[in-house]
Structure 1
Amino acid sequence: MTRVLSIYLPYWPTDRQRRLPGAPSRDVPLALKTKLGSKRVIFSADDLARRYGVYPGMPVARAQLLLPELDLLDARPEADAEGLEKLALWALRRYSPRVASDPPDGLVLDTAGCDHLFGGEEGLMRDLLRRLETAGVTARAALADTWGAAHAVARFGGEAARIVPAGQTGEAIINLPVMALRLFNDLIDELRVLGIETIGELAAKPRAAMTQRFGPELFRRVDQAFGRVHEPITPVESPELIFVERVFAEPIGAPETIEKYTRRLVGQICDRLEVEGKGARRLDLHHVRVDNRILTTSVMTARPVRDIKRLSKLLCDKIEAVEPGFGIEKMKLVVAQAERLTLSQTKADFSSETRADVEDLWDTLANRYGDKRLYRAVSLATDMPERSVRRIGPTQAAASSSRNAGFKRPPRLYRCPEAIQALAVLPDHPPRAFTWRGQRYHVARADGPERIKGEWWLSEDEDGQVRDYYILEADSGERFWVFRTGDGVNSDTGALSWFLHGKFA
């Protein structure tokens, strides 16, 4: 089933300009100007400028009078479009094999079959929005069954991020304005004259009369939004991408036939990779059906790979997810991500111990269950327990710190400390009893305190903050790791609240 993610970039022209060398500070309102005939008007304005009343289409002289400190730059629509294409290429390499720009202010991604690599649709959307925010690009996102619905909800849904559940497209867009359907402005104005304001009101009108008056484009957009008519996403292509394709004289559909040509395409792509001296990190296999639908299967590898047998196995394991419909007329294999492949010499000393080659197993598990499910844990040099361990990729090289090896730490550490009600004598006595998750525990033995101070160099909120940790053994034999915020004397070191942070075996 198709799932489409629409990314809306409301301030893309100004956000792109701010990323250029010598750009004005983000504390100064920014607007871009252009010429409309003989008049100079505002082409785009950032969020700060709009708060002061500057909007696109406003005369430049009026904007300068309204906001004297406004920083004005020339608009460059061609550069904005080129930047949007580059952003689409970035998303293509990282998130989905089918990404297209949605001019003038957005992207569209087909996430079917690749969201599990990020822990689901919510994880993919959160990761993408976080990276855009880090890059200084304001973005809103919506995910739905169709391009039209996702586009409409992202721009007019009123939320920064929203996932429309499968099968609920109609309920999500029926009350949105008709301008959300990507219609021409003249057509929107004529619909308003007739009193049609929302998509639901338009969808309820008689089609024959409306189509005769306004043309077929009107209800084509309605049907695309509701999913009655398929709207293909033509993915952006990078000129440096390595790819091979096969066009069939007669459509194919049998699984064994698809497997045969998949293996042939893998052999051809490996030959191309050998010429380039690279290995594949991600492969996208596009199946173009006769009804113009594109089905894509993607596989990822932990390290650069150029092994025909290994790559063929990863792709062929996903053939059962391909629905050929009335037939597949074209197959295209693309190396979405490639890296330099360095070959290593095998040691001649057969008696020496070598690391077991489990990378094939890693790739199989990662492509089946998602790359976030497979990881290694490394210890970090930090006093805060929740920061002492970090997840990394199974093949990622990272040095582990032995700084906290001598401290007593529970094998099970909760992601977020859980509040408990404790009975204790201040300032430095352990609890005599505590209540956790509705159950009361009586403390038989205790050890502590171990004082940990906040890392003020990482966060100002931790400056002067204190935690006193205790190991508690209950009457039942269970052992817990709890802490109190504050030193028990100075109120500015913590609120004297108790939390349970871990549990011993």
Structure 2
Amino acid sequence: MARVVSLFLPTWSTDRLRRKGGDAAPPAEAPLVLTGLLGRREVVLAADTAAWTAGARVGMAATKARVLVPKLIVREYDAAGDAEALGRLAVWLLRRYAPLVAVDLPDGIVLDTTGADHLHGGEEGMLAGLVDRLGASGFTSRSAIADTWGAAHALARHATRPTVVAPPGHAASAIAQLPLSALRLPADTIEGLRVLGFERIADLIVQPRAPFALRFGPQVWRRVDQALGVLNELIDPIRGEDLIEVRRSFAEPIGAAETIKHYIGELVAALRQALESKELGVRRLDLICIRVDSSAQVIRVGTALPVRDAKRLTRLLTDKVETIDPGFGIEIMTLTAILAEPLAGRQLMTSLVDDVAPDVSDLIDVLANRVGERSVYRAAPVATDVPERSVRRIPAMAPDSGATWPGHWPRPARLLPSPEPIETVALLPDHPPVSFIWRGIRRRVRRADGPERIFGEWWRCDAELAAVRDYFRVEDDGGERYWIFRSGDGQDAATGSHRWFLHGVFG
């Protein structure tokens, strides 16, 4: 089943102006509107959140907005610049999130992420990550995923949450309570429906169609059917100018898995020649199969390092052929190097060349394309004394930075995601517990070593200015060894709560 993401940028124009202006841009808290001519009238064409809250509205006369909103900042609306920047954002999303991406003017982007969400931590993780990344760049956004473009578009703009995941097969129930304006109908059509007493989509979809088609034309039910998935709505994908792409058209549609695999091999061979001529290797590869009904089936694979080995790329693609539904046949197959990086030729190994470390990138690629890039990683040290901050995830094939963990104090083989509270019997201030209860089991301490004092990182937040932890390595009667600590120095309440926690288990 298809899955489509609608990305809504409600303040795209004003956010872009602020980002473009840099230090000279209007302050984030100042109300800002963009105006332009509508006929002979100067009207508001875009407004940020502060201006909207103060009462400015799109379509309002600029003079009225100036009177209504104190200290209003007014700038000129740049429709062409907004559209161009939205296209660049769509290409960025194409390279990182989905094989089929299109601009949804004036303030949105649509992505067909069918089969690609697992590469980004699932649908919820993908939407949350997308909104967070845009937010970090200064753009307010909302996103929704559903079975159809129409349903995702409606949820992104009218749901109460910034990210919405409509369960597969439930487009109708997901949008039923949304207003009629969510159907992307002309304003006069929506007003006419409201005059007749219809407010929500649920009120409309149960009505007989003929009277509405006679009065409002076919557009009402076309939008309803597109949102419910009864009528297919094609996405016209955007393509970057620098993408390397090869294509094969078929006089007779193909559908057998073995035939598809055969032509994948031919396309990969042609793509390899194009990559070799430019001394590039592919990092992300899209296979788009256009069926006879004009719908698309897509396979996306990625590699940990730049690759142009035809055999290796063919295997990654053919491993996913079973995810393609050819329907009544495939007319066109397109293979695109969405992300490519420089890759110079390598000298062949001979007996005179020293042995090198085995190349495991092929295995990494197979695993990452099956379970997702985020599920295949390495742990790397972080320069910090706080244990839970001392590890970060890096790509499996990332180069070695040379950083190491400090070796002067032992650390447990298993560090808990967060310290777990324990009940203890202990002498203060510098003694380890005599016994402690963890996860409902009392453990008597036979041996202990410590304390190792760790201070908070005062530059992160005020709460850590005086924070102290005293860590002990303890061994119970059964020979199990644990890493526990007391929050605080045992005397000053400002240094911590003086409660005890278990933070790790030694192997």
Normalising by structure 2, what TM-score?
0.95
Partner SS for 1:19: helix
Displacement after TM superposition at 1:267 (Å): 1.0
Displacement after TM superposition at 1:37 (Å): 2.5
1:66 aligned onto 2:32: no
Displacement after TM superposition at 1:134 (Å): 0.8
- Aligned residue in 1 for 2:155: 153
Cα distance in 2 for residues equivalent to 1:396 and 1:86: 27
- Aligned residue in 2 for 1:202: 204
> 264-273 or 484-493: which moved more?
484-493
Displacement after TM superposition at 1:478 (Å): 2.1
Displacement after TM superposition at 1:305 (Å): 1.0
- Aligned residue in 2 for 1:126: 128
Displacement after TM superposition at 1:207 (Å): 1.0
CA-atom RMSD in angstroms: 1.8
Displacement after TM superposition at 1:152 (Å): 1.0
Residues 212 and 45 from structure 1, CA distance in 2 versus in 1: closer, same or farther, beyond 3 angstroms? same
- Aligned residue in 2 for 1:266: 268
Cα distance in 2 for residues equivalent to 1:53 and 1:438: 57
- Aligned residue in 2 for 1:188: 190
Cα distance in 1 for residues equivalent to 2:319 and 2:199: 49
- Aligned residue in 1 for 2:336: 334
Cα distance in 2 for residues equivalent to 1:264 and 1:348: 30
> How many residue pairs get matched?
505
What CA deviation, in whole Å up to 9, does each residue of 1:264-318 have, x standing for no partner? 1111111111222211111100000011110000111111111111111111111
* Contact 1:484 1:499 (8 Å CA) reproduced: yes
Q: Percent identity?
A: 50
- Aligned residue in 2 for 1:14: 14
- The correspondence of residues 98-117 of structure 1 with structure 2, limited to 5 A, is 98-117=100-119
Cα distance in 2 for residues equivalent to 1:128 and 1:327: 34
> 249-258 or 58-67: which moved more?
58-67
1:2 aligned onto 2:21: no
- Aligned residue in 1 for 2:84: 82
Displacement after TM superposition at 1:487 (Å): 1.8
Displacement after TM superposition at 1:351 (Å): 6.6
Cα distance in 2 for residues equivalent to 1:52 and 1:484: 50
Cα distance in 2 for residues equivalent to 1:14 and 1:351: 59
Structure 2 portions without partners, runs of 5+? none
Cα distance in 2 for residues equivalent to 1:500 and 1:325: 56
Cα distance in 1 for residues equivalent to 2:425 and 2:402: 38
Residues 75 and 502 from structure 1, CA distance in 2 versus in 1: closer, same or farther, beyond 3 angstroms? same
Residues 331 and 78 from structure 1, CA distance in 2 versus in 1: closer, same or farther, beyond 3 angstroms? same
Residues 212 and 86 from structure 1, CA distance in 2 versus in 1: closer, same or farther, beyond 3 angstroms? same
* Contact 2:134 2:141 (8 Å CA) reproduced: yes
Cα distance in 2 for residues equivalent to 1:218 and 1:449: 73
- The correspondence of residues 259-338 of structure 1 with structure 2, limited to 5 A, is 259-338=261-340
- Aligned residue in 1 for 2:470: 468
Structure 1 portions without partners, runs of 5+? none
- Aligned residue in 1 for 2:47: 45
> 276-285 or 443-452: which moved more?
443-452
Displacement after TM superposition at 1:230 (Å): 1.8
Displacement after TM superposition at 1:348 (Å): 5.7
What CA deviation, in whole Å up to 9, does each residue of 1:467-501 have, x standing for no partner? 22122222333222122222222222222233222
Displacement after TM superposition at 1:397 (Å): 1.2
Cα distance in 2 for residues equivalent to 1:435 and 1:125: 41
What CA deviation, in whole Å up to 9, does each residue of 1:424-471 have, x standing for no partner? 333333233333333333333322221111112234442222122122
What CA deviation, in whole Å up to 9, does each residue of 1:195-253 have, x standing for no partner? 10000000011111111211111111111111222222221111111101111111111
* Contact 2:279 2:345 (8 Å CA) reproduced: no
Residues 144 and 423 from structure 1, CA distance in 2 versus in 1: closer, same or farther, beyond 3 angstroms? farther
* Contact 1:99 1:108 (8 Å CA) reproduced: yes
Residues 402 and 304 from structure 1, CA distance in 2 versus in 1: closer, same or farther, beyond 3 angstroms? closer
The one-letter code matched in structure 2 to 1:266 is V
The one-letter code matched in structure 2 to 1:285 is L
